[in-house]
Structure 1
């Protein structure tokens, strides 16, 4: 959906023949719902469909009773950490509606990506939906607004404001660090396989934050929501002056083979040590993804440093 490369394949442990599927769901719901009630008694019980909204809720101190694709979230988004008490609703595009009904949340957090399912969600609970990613629109401000709106709705506006302030402070800190660097443009890419990449533009969270820290995005082509369609890796040779920041996750095969690729090694940025490989970040994340990007970029390597320092 709109550039999401990775859809989870979740393993399922089959119950014994004596346990029905409905019984298993009920047991699962009970196991996960009780700790959530204890940890968030004053708050509504929340289920989350969209990952950016899951990041947002966790960042302001809300532990949901359920969320989607938690195996992949813990591998790709990584933070904020999701407690083991949170039930997994399955795929974002096709959540387990039976389990959602059994859990009976008071509120469902969604986004414009899943608006086509809103009517089904509303038969379970009221929906809070935010639009963070739109074609051609930098998403940092919408993500900030979504956090503020959710904070107000849950009585956690101070927590939201504090998180926003901390995020903006980290951006400003990195802006000060890089202001004296050689101002080469920066290519923000994700690797699809050993032959293809995607470039992140200004309507990605990474491209938006890059501009906020005072660096220029080298990619001038079109993007849709976050990044281009896959482009041949040889196209990177057309922007030889650009530093390259690779945003994970990188497929295991590409991670193994790319360092031996003649095309990759012939790129000026590679041969001159102007490539940073970042760990995985949610490509469609909220402010926590922006904050993680800033931190990882700040640790990325010598090309961010003051050449006279």
Structure 2
């Protein structure tokens, strides 16, 4: 008895299956590179992307001053950013080291352990928010997480949009964004800082009209806060203990219009030199404080 001839559809299906079989048999999940981060902005970015972060610098201080994204407990601490524990870095066995130009003197030694990707967000003449977006995409490309970059960017945009909506009634309000150094001095964050960029995105304005070095100016005498009597004051990060004790008793501080009129807001810490996660955190904390 003759066998029935196979249909054209069956022949095509069999051919497609044969062509795909070798690829399926030989395919395996691609391992993500193990990442170590020296710079905190790069650490923020890698964690937000979901990269396989195995080591980072100054993690105790990061957890206190940067806060988010959260660093998993199994990430190795490499010690001080400017004086790394290279033995700990060797043990972590990274495939990629994320750094910044500030640590250029370390790159020769770092490069003996793994390839180094050095990126900078804060620099003259370049908006930090746009630079942070670019850095997110570059890190994502190097860690095989290209799609995750667009997720992080979209989430940051959504966080800023939500904060702007909450602050719509205060649109145009001027704010000094500062961190307190001691009872007489502060560091000012100008329009060219990430904090300043976020203010602009929220429809607010930086009251600091003095010079800044891409991101901040320090130290500044506290009397400079009287230059714009109508501006509020936003202190990023609680003041040091000595300043926190002295400011309420300071005649200069209490003479400031913003202090007299209860227009001073203290935020939890935010990395002033951070990337997109820092921008989203600052926007959220500011909206909570003002709204």
The TM-score bracket by the shorter chain reads 0.7 to 0.9
Count of residues in correspondence between the two structures:
263
Computed over aligned residues only, the root mean square deviation of the Cα atoms, in angstroms, reads 1.7
Partner of 1:168: 157
Q: What displacement does 1:260 show?
A: 2.4
Confirm whether residue 254 of structure 1 aligns to residue 243 of structure 2.
Answer: yes
Partners of 2:125 and 2:230 lie apart in 1 by: 25
2:112 corresponds in structure 1 to 123
| Distance of aligned partners of 1:257 and 1:125 in 2 relative to their CA distance in 1, 3 Å threshold | same
2:144 to 155, 159, 165: 155
- Partner residue, 1:62: 51
Counterpart among 60, 67, 72 of residue 83 in structure 1:
72
1:211 aligns with 2:200: yes
In the alignment, structure 1 residue 190 sits paired with structure 2 residue 179: yes
Larger radius of gyration: 2
CA deviation map 1:214-271 (0-9, x unaligned): 1111111111132112111112112211111111142122122212222111111111
Deviations, residues 96-129 of structure 1 (Å, cap 9, x unaligned): 1222223321110111221232222111100112
Cα distance between partner residues in 2 of 1:270 and 1:89:
41
Residue number among 166, 169, 186 corresponding to 1:180 in the alignment? 169
Unaligned runs of 5+ in 1: 1-39, 305-309
- Give distance in 2, aligned partners of 1:73 and 1:60: 18
Distance 1:97 1:45 in 2: 16
Give the TM-score normalised by the residue count of structure 2: 0.86
Gaps (5+ residues) in structure 2? 1-28
> Would the aligned equivalents of 2:32 and 2:52 in 1 still touch at CA under 8 Å?
no
C-alpha distance in structure 2 between counterparts of 1:222 and 1:136, whole Å: 13
Match of 1:282 in 2: 271
Q: Contact 2:33–2:52 at 8 Å: present in 1 too?
A: no
Equivalent in the alignment of 2:40: 51
Tell me what 1:98 maps to: 87
